[in-house]
Amino acid sequence: MRHSAILRSVKIALAFVGLLVGAGFATGAEVIQYFVGFGWIGILGAGLAGVLVALGGAVILQLGSVFLAADHKVVFRSVSHPVMARILDVTVTVTLFAIGFVMLAGAGSTLAQQLGWPTWAGAGLMTALALVTGMLDVEKVSAIISLITPLIILAVVAGFVHVLLTHEGSFTANEALAVQAATPVAPWWLSSVNYFGLVVVMAVSMCLVIGGSITNPREAFAGGLTGGVLYTVLLLLASVLLYLGYAEIGRADVPMLQLFASIAPWLGWTMVVVIYLMIYNTAIGMFYALGRRLTAERPGRYRPVFIGVTLLAFAVSFVGFGDLMNVVYPALGYLGIVLALVLIAWWVLHRRQISAESGLRLRLRALLRLREHPEKTFTAQHAVLLQEAADESVAATAVVTEAVEEEVVQAIEADEPDGDPRRS
């Protein structure tokens, strides 16, 4: 793999990790629910879930690349029956709303735990922020807030090192306390699989779009696999951190916040800001995407629909963060398992076709480089070969040609060496 290809795969990996390390991971609540609540064996469960996420993420990103997906519907329609495609689309839409109201509840619990506010106040503030932002340029605001993601990663690593160095007694000293936590899905291995399904259903739409921006399916797969491995490491670190520090957590709705506050008060105040911003980033992303999805055929209705679904989510959030997570997340996890099985089954059955598509994209790239490079000769025969290659692609002819051409032009401007079409 060329240096530029490695860099592109690394960028994909980092984007994938940034997508997965969201508000649920930051609060620590889902890590307790899915892994730590089973005791030491839950750590193995985190490893199993991480492996599944790495493999599943690589497959989903590659499918996005194969179809050059601009949205998830393109892939759903291509890999399944129209009825199933519709079911999968509805599943993703329901997930946007469900994660949205869980985030509002989490915002309420976060400020209640640190500031002593009533939970409705923290949820109400988050709802107001979401409503205001939804009327503005959401993508720019979200991109800025996403810069907080590295802080969560740094906090988990630093917290892991601190707890490891200061932990007294055996590794399993907190076993009896940890197993008292609520674990809605059991046994531990099924909880791991359910977590994988939850990650899939939450991230599939954006993963397919990220994959769709990569013209080389092999690079998309490599990036997804690398990102999945990095996420597995983070998930294991977070699980061990919360397991070893469980005595300090008690029954807190936001375990990560409680743990860091127990280390030092100033860390608690720092983490409350970071976690709240992560929740904000996730919440606005969910409601914005939901509003756009529900008004896809009538864009002019976006604002009233966005306001309506956000206020409805605020009402649902009164059920409470812990209760919502114990019910909503497992349900979404099972839906995600079905979705993952559909995508992975198509991927397995069409491996040769995907491999051929990867080779085809390289041939297209080389031919388009001949056409676009001012110092190279592009003949009539090359034009015929280019048209034939574009017509053979799994993606739409115009879409694949335009996508690869854009990449080639950027490469020429950067003076990147490329392959000779005669080698393909």
Q: pLDDT at residue 424 above 60?
A: no
pTM score of the predicted model: 0.87
Amino acid in the structure at residue 388 = E
Please report the pLDDT score of residue 147 as a whole number: 73
CATH class as words, domain 3-349: mainly alpha
DSSP 135-184: TS-HHHHHHHHGGGHHHHHHHHHHHHHHHHHH--S-TTTTHHHHTTS--S
CA distance 100 to 282: 8
Average pLDDT estimate for 253-279: 89
Please report the pLDDT score of residue 153 as a whole number: 86
Average pLDDT estimate for 37-41: 94
Kindly state the tokens that stand for 377: 């000769």
**pLDDT, tens digit, 9 for 90 and up, residues 333-366:** 999 999 999 999 999 999 999 999 999 999 998 8
Q: Are 38 and 194 in contact (CB under 8 A)?
A: no
Cβ within 8 Å of residue 57, ≥6 positions away = 16, 20, 199, 203, 207, 224, 225, 227, 228, 231
- Give span(s): CATH 1.20.1740.10, the chain: 3-349
Torsion over CA: 327, 22, 11, 129 (sign)? positive
C-alpha closest to that of 207 among 333, 5, 63, 84: 63
Cβ within 8 Å of residue 333, ≥6 positions away = 185, 193, 194, 195, 196, 197, 198, 201
Query: 157-178 in b/e burial notation, b at 16+ Cβ within 10 A?
Result: eebbebbeeebeeeeeebeeeb
Kindly state the tokens that stand for 223: 């990036």
Cβ within 8 Å of residue 52, ≥6 positions away = 192, 193, 196
DSSP state of 266: H
**pLDDT, tens digit, 9 for 90 and up, residues 56-104:** 999 999 999 999 988 888 899 999 999 999 999 999 999 989 999 999 9
DSSP 3-state of 378: coil
CA distance 258 to 84: 43
Q: What percent of the chain has pLDDT over 90?
A: 43
Residue whose structure tokens are 């999968």: 88
DSSP 3-state of 264: coil
